[in-house]
C-alpha cells in the first residue's frame, strides 16, 4: 500500500465509520485523561457497571444489547478506547466524543502506513485492529505490509494485531490466510512458533479443526 494522501486517509476513515454503523458497533480513541469522566458520564446516564478488569482499567457498562459500552484506559496507546454497541448507543457516543474529542482514524491510518517508523506504526496498527469491525482490502493490504516488515519486532506486533482484528471483527478466515502466508515466509523459529500459536487460537475461536502436531 503506497503512502496515502489526505483525501485517501479521510476516505479510509469514512469507510470505517460506515462499517461501524452497519454493525451498530463503534470504537473511538479518546484522550487518555478522559477515562474517569467517561465512566462517570455513563453511570450518570443510568448505565450499570457490569464488570471491571485489569485493575479497573477496563470497565463494562450496559444492561442489554441495545446499549453497551466498554471503556479501556490504554497506556500503550496513550488513549481511552471507547467501544459502544447497540442501536441506543449512538446518542451517548456523540455526547462523549463532543465532550472529549477523539483521535481521528485518518491520523491513525497515516501513522500505521509510515512503516519507516516501525514502533509508532505498530502501535497505530494495533489501535486500528481494536477498531476494525469488518475486513476489507485496505485492511488486508495494511496487515500484509506490516507482516512483511524487515523488522522482526514489527512482524511480531503485526501478528498480534491480525489476531486482535479477527476477534473484533468476529471473522477469522482472512486472518488465518494472512498468518499462513506470513508463516510460510518467516525465517525466525521463535516468531514462526508465535504465528503457529496465533493460528491455532484463531482456529479454535472459529470452531475449525486444530493441528495438534505442528
The CATH code of the domain that includes 64 is: 3.30.160
For 26-50, the pLDDT digits (tens) are 999 999 999 999 999 999 999 999 9
Structural domain harbouring 72: 24-100
Say if residue 120 is in the same domain as residue 171. Answer: yes
Share of the chain above pLDDT 70, in %: 95
* 159: in domain: yes
Helix intervals (H) in 26-117: 35-44, 90-100, 105-113
Say if residue 95 is in the same domain as residue 127. Answer: no
Q: What pLDDT was estimated at residue 1?
A: 45
Say if residue 116 is in the same domain as residue 70. Answer: no
Q: Which of 82, 100, 118 is the last residue in one of the domains?
A: 100
The mean pLDDT value for 89-112 works out to 96
- d(CA 84, CA 26) in angstroms, rounded, equals 5
> pLDDT grade, residue 127 (50/70/90)?
very high
pTM comes to 0.91
Q: Which of 71, 100, 129 is the last residue in one of the domains?
A: 100
Average pLDDT, the chain: 93
* 190: in domain: yes
Helices (H) and strands (E) in the chain, counts: 9, 5
Say if residue 110 is in the same domain as residue 199. Answer: yes
Region label for 211, one of left (φ > 0), alpha (ψ between -120 and 50) or beta (otherwise): beta
Q: What pLDDT was estimated at residue 214?
A: 45
For 6-26, the pLDDT digits (tens) are 999 999 999 999 999 999 999
Say if residue 116 is in the same domain as residue 187. Answer: yes
188 pLDDT exceeds 80?
yes
Say if residue 96 is in the same domain as residue 121. Answer: no
211 pLDDT exceeds 80?
no
Say if residue 166 is in the same domain as residue 146. Answer: yes
Share of the chain above pLDDT 90, in %: 90
Q: How far is CA 116 from the centre of its chain?
A: 21
Whether 169 and 134 have beta carbons less than 8 Å apart is answered as yes
- Which of 164, 185, 166 has its CA nearest to residue 174? 166
Say if residue 82 is in the same domain as residue 118. Answer: no
Give the number of domains in the chain.
2
For 54-68, the pLDDT digits (tens) are 999 999 998 778 899
Say if residue 111 is in the same domain as residue 190. Answer: yes
* 213: in domain: no
Amino acid at each position: 500500500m503506497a503512502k496515502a494522501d489526505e483525501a485517501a486517509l479521510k476516505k479510509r476513515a469514512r469507510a470505517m465509520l460506515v462499517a461501524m454503523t452497519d454493525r451498530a458497533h463503534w470504537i473511538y480513541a479518546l484522550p487518555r485523561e478522559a477515562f474517569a469522566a467517561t465512566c462517570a458520564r455513563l453511570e450518570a446516564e443510568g448505565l450499570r457497571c457490569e464488570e471491571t478488569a485489569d485493575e479497573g482499567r477496563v470497565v463494562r457498562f450496559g444492561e442489554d444489547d441495545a446499549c453497551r459500552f466498554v471503556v479501556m484506559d490504554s497506556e500503550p496507546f496513550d488513549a481511552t478506547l471507547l467501544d459502544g454497541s447497540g442501536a441506543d448507543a449512538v446518542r451517548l457516543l456523540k455526547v462523549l466524543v463532543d465532550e472529549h474529542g477523539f483521535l481521528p482514524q485518518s491520523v491513525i491510518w497515516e501513522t500505521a502506513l509510515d512503516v519507516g517508523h516501525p514502533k509508532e506504526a505498530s502501535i497505530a496498527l494495533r489501535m486500528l485492529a481494536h477498531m476494525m469491525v469488518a475486513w476489507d482490502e485496505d485492511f488486508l493490504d495494511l496487515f500484509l505490509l506490516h507482516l512483511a516488515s524487515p523488522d522482526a519486532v514489527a512482524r511480531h506486533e503485526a501478528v498480534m494485531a491480525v489476531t486482535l482484528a479477527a476477534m473484533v471483527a468476529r471473522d477469522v478466515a482472512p486472518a488465518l490466510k494472512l498468518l499462513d502466508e506470513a508463516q510460510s515466509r518467516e525465517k525466525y523459529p521463535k516468531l514462526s512458533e508465535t504465528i503457529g500459536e496465533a493460528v491455532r487460537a484463531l482456529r479454535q475461536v472459529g470452531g475449525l479443526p486444530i493441528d495438534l502436531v505442528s
